[in-house]
Amino acid sequence: MHALKKINTLNNEIWIDDDGILMLVLTGKEIEMELEEVKECFEAYKTLGCGPHNKVLQLIDFTGEGTMTAEARNYVAETGCHFFIASAIVNNSLAVRLIVNFFNTFYKHPIPFKMFSNEKEARAWLMTFRK
């Protein structure tokens, strides 16, 4: 399942790392993720072999500033449970923390989703879900 290549979308770089974690790194500094961009990310996940029969851990490196449209959030909320065991996001922004908290509260996300200030803590938390 490990990919030797990285897939680039408009605002993201996506690959599976040596630990088998699906990495999504936002490449822009100030981004508004729209529905089409989110759908493109999910197509990349499929290309990397992720899906309902092969769910993975996901680590999102979102060190920039950004938002996600309501349509994009809805799509992630409905579709993410078919791809991920758990998702962690790395960011220090209060604005992003508010979005993550809103997402977890409003959408009653069916998979564990948590924000961390550094990648080491995020990876340690994700590994607790490794089967």
Per residue in 51-78, pLDDT (tens digit) is 999 999 999 998 777 778 889 988 998 9
Q: Report residue 4's pLDDT band, with 50, 70 and 90 as the boundaries.
A: low
In sequence order, the β-bridge partners of residue 57 are: 86
Spatial CA neighbour of 87 closest among 110, 61, 60: 60
Per residue in 29-46, pLDDT (tens digit) is 777 889 999 999 999 999
C-alpha dist (Å) from residue 4 to 14, 15, 22: 11, 8, 12
Query: Could you tell me which residues come within 8 angstroms of residue 76 by beta carbon, excluding any fewer than 6 positions away?
Result: 38, 68
Query: Tokens 């493109």 appear where?
Result: 40
Query: Does residue 2 have a pLDDT over 60?
Result: no
Residue 1 is predicted with a pLDDT of 45
Strand segments (E) across 2-126: 7-8, 12-16, 22-26, 30-33, 56-61, 65-68, 84-90, 113-116
CATH number for region 7-127: 3.30.750.24
- As a whole number of angstroms, the distance between CA 15 and CA 24 comes to 7
Query: Does residue 119 have a pLDDT over 70?
Result: yes
DSSP states of 62-85 as a string? --SEEEE-HHHHHHHHHHGGGTEE
Domain ranges across the chain: 7-127
